[in-house]
């Protein structure tokens, strides 16, 4: 499995409530930001247009987040992405939200590799072998 991939971001004022605490829904946005950054870091995208006009994408089938300690306006968060499981058609990804050494939250998302036909329904497909090979390599850190 890949080593930890870390995405770093600063909490914006608009992401907080009147007490300056990050609203819980933003953690799901942060997971998605980290996922997109990870895909880019390995030369891929969460939405890849194919020559035949189809799109290969990764819709969510489940997402959860447990909160341990609040995050505040202007905090610098390190979001550690860990691929916990590579299935035939799906990935299970864990997200650890860190402020320095403090674990603020832990999220998990399961995504499924799908092909989207123009004007048609989406269909789950096996993870392409060339992408699965990239997932087996080490991740890296980005800001």
Active site residues: 17
Left, alpha or beta for 53 (phi > 0: left; psi -120 to 50: alpha)?
left
Q: How far is CA 77 from CA 55, 98, 111, in A?
A: 32, 6, 23
Question: How far is residue 11 from each of residues 21, 79, 126, measured CA to CA in Å?
Answer: 10, 12, 36
User: In terms of C-beta density within 10 A (0-12 exposed, 13-18 middle, 19 or more buried), how is residue 113 classed?
Assistant: buried
Tokens linked to 82: 């860990």
């Amino acid at each position: 499995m890949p080593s930890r991939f870390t995405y770093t971001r600063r909490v914006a004022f608009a992401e907080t409530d009147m007490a300056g605490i990050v609203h819980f829904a933003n953690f799901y946005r942060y997971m998605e930001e980290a996922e997109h950054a990870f895909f880019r870091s390995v030369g891929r995208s969460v939405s890849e247009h194919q020559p035949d006009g189809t799109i290969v994408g990764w819709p969510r089938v489940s997402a959860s987040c447990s909160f341990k300690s609040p995050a505040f306006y202007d905090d610098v968060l390190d979001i550690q992405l860990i691929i916990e499981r590579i299935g035939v058609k799906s990935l299970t990804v864990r997200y650890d939200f860190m402020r320095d050494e403090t674990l603020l939250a832990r999220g998990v998302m399961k995504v499924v590799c799908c092909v989207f036909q123009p004007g048609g329904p989406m269909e789950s497909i096996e993870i392409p072998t060339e992408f699965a090979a990239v997932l087996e390599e080490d991740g890296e850190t980005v800001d």
